[in-house]
Amino acid sequence: MPRTPFLILFLLVLLASVLPTQAQVADRPNVLFIAIDDLNHWLGHLGRNPQAKTPNIDRLAGMGVSFTSAYCAVPACEPSRLALMGGRRPWTTGAYMNGDRWKTFQKPGEGLAAQFLKADYYVAGAGKIYHGIGDHLSAEWTEYMDPKGLSANGPGVTKFDGYFEPHDHDLKDEDLTDWHSADYCIERLGKKHDKPFFLACGLYKPHLAFVAPRKYYKDFPLEDIQLPPHLENDLDDIPAAGRKMNNKDHETMIKNGSWKLAIQSYLATCAYTDMNVGRLLDALETGPNRENTIIVLWSDHGWSLGEKEHWRKFALWEEPTRTALIWAAPGVTPKGERCDRPVDLMSIYPTLCDLAGLPKPDHLDGKSILPLLKDPKAEWSEPAITTHGYRNHALRLDHWRLIQYRDGSQELYDHREDPYEYENLAKDSKHAETLAELEALLPKNNAKHQKGGAK
């Protein structure tokens, strides 16, 4: 027999051994991937702010495991999402800040969505998964919703409406892009697919502007709004590098008398987002894919609303770094459990690979938290690390938070006694041993900041 048929037969056998069979593909779980922008841990089931009303996110928490100490990779949208979706931490890539163009740091085929596409998944997305609404690498997705003609904030809304300025807009739910992003995903959740799916829904709110349709404000009367716990002169024991991260919004809030207004608007905008999460959950629960779909909900970072005289993100304290993270994986996660182990969002990429039976790429910096999904009280020794700028890191391990800045100055907090980080213990000799143990866990090699994008 000529050599060519033998070669063809060999290649066919080899290909069959590498590609999954149709049955194997059909058995793989679906993924509903819900990303939320600027949502902190003001969630009803967490109790951090008793004014928060998030019944649908709380419903999801009742379906699986909610992490009470989850932290972002970076307290800024663009580098946080690049790190999570690309699998590399900022000290590996050199992408630390908004404006570090994420597409110059991630090669097509390396991202999380690409791993599912390679495994013969149907991979679709809508809204804000990377830095801009609709922004993505087309080679990594089967399809992605075009947001052209839609508005992230609604007609006539400007950035600081509901924040420094009163909200005086009459909006409908469908005036915001998030409604349409959810619609896009709801349509796909309602269908039976030939392949397993990875479906990503990126919700833009509660990102500024803090504006939602008026009906979402009825549960938050301005006269009943409570300020978050805060301490006057809280920055007195903060090193200069930390104070430099503090913005001037607090001065404007006090001058304008708009602190309660901003909190009211944030809570209302979170309620709008919670409504869209509920729509997604309803579509999954009433559709044909309920029994075999993993849900993971996360937010790209936290948000400060006056704690430590700070607003927005862009700092390394608890409020701007702590985020929402909820997993519901059929047959894996217990229902209605909480996990208090500190984890960071770099865990999402490898954990999804584990749950879906996909190979984990060699470039991943994060660790899978599959053991904690199975048993939320399991032992866990990995620190959660957040980075903001070159060689500025916050580390959470158990109840301790260490912040170390580029100049070597530090902050140390014991969250058992001080959950709002009022007292910096870094210079207290009683904690020298703890400080040294935490310092040893900080990254040793830090890539230089690639301003504006990799060269």
CA dist 432 → 323, 413, 423, 427 (Å): 29, 13, 16, 8
Residue 236 above 90 pLDDT? yes
pLDDT in tens, 145-163: 999 999 999 999 999 999 9
Structure tokens at 176: 């915001």
Residue 212 to residue 233: CA distance in whole angstroms: 33
Strand order, beta sheet including 122-127: 143-144, 122-127, 197-203, 30-36, 293-299, 325-328, 65-67, 337-339
Q: What percent of the chain has pLDDT above 70?
A: 94
Residue 7 lies in a domain: no
Residue span of the structural domain in which 191 resides? 22-387
Bridge partners of 394, per DSSP, are 386, 403
Give the pLDDT of residue 68. Answer: 97
Average pLDDT over residues 49-68: 97
Residue 169 above 90 pLDDT? no
Give the pLDDT of residue 132. Answer: 93
Cβ-count burial of 3 within 10 angstroms (0-12 exposed, 13-18 middle, 19+ buried)?
exposed
The pLDDT confidence band at residue 4, using thresholds 50, 70 and 90, is: low
> What is the rounded average pLDDT for all residues in the chain?
93
User: Would you call 77 a catalytic residue per the annotation?
Assistant: yes
Cβ-count burial of 43 within 10 angstroms (0-12 exposed, 13-18 middle, 19+ buried)?
buried
Give the pLDDT of residue 42. Answer: 97
CA geometry: angle at 445 spanning 441 and 450, to 5°?
Answer: 130
pLDDT in tens, 323-369: 999 999 999 999 999 999 999 999 999 999 999 999 999 999 999 99
Give the pLDDT of residue 22. Answer: 40
Give the pLDDT of residue 7. Answer: 54
Residue 396 to residue 69: CA distance in whole angstroms: 9
Average pLDDT over residues 195-224: 97
Bridge partners of 299, per DSSP, are 36
Give the pLDDT of residue 23. Answer: 38
Q: What percent of the chain has pLDDT above 90?
A: 90
Catalytic residue among 77, 201, 270, 339: 77
Average pLDDT over residues 192-209: 97
Give the pLDDT of residue 27. Answer: 81
Residue 316 lies in a domain: yes
ω before 50 within 30° of 0 (cis)?
no
Residue 425 lies in a domain: no
pLDDT in tens, 208-222: 999 999 999 999 999
Give the pLDDT of residue 19. Answer: 46
Q: How many domains are there within the chain?
A: 1
The pLDDT confidence band at residue 450, using thresholds 50, 70 and 90, is: confident
Residue 374 lies in a domain: yes
Residue 411 lies in a domain: no
Residue 438 to residue 343: CA distance in whole angstroms: 15
Residue 305 lies in a domain: yes
Residue 85 lies in a domain: yes
Residue 392 to residue 442: CA distance in whole angstroms: 10
Give the pLDDT of residue 167. Answer: 85
Q: First and final CA of the chain: distance in angstroms? A: 54
pLDDT in tens, 117-143: 999 999 999 999 999 999 999 999 999
In the block, tokens 């170390």 appear at: 404
Q: What is the pTM of this model?
A: 0.93
Catalytic residue among 41, 45, 131, 393: 131
Instruction: Indicate which CATH number applies to the domain containing 38.
Output: 3.40.720.10
pLDDT in tens, 246-255: 888 999 999 9
CB neighbour burial string for 407-428, b if at least 16 within 10 angstroms, e if fewer: eeebbbbbbeeeebbeebbbee
Is 86 in contact with 106 (CB distance < 8 Å)? yes
Residue 266 lies in a domain: yes
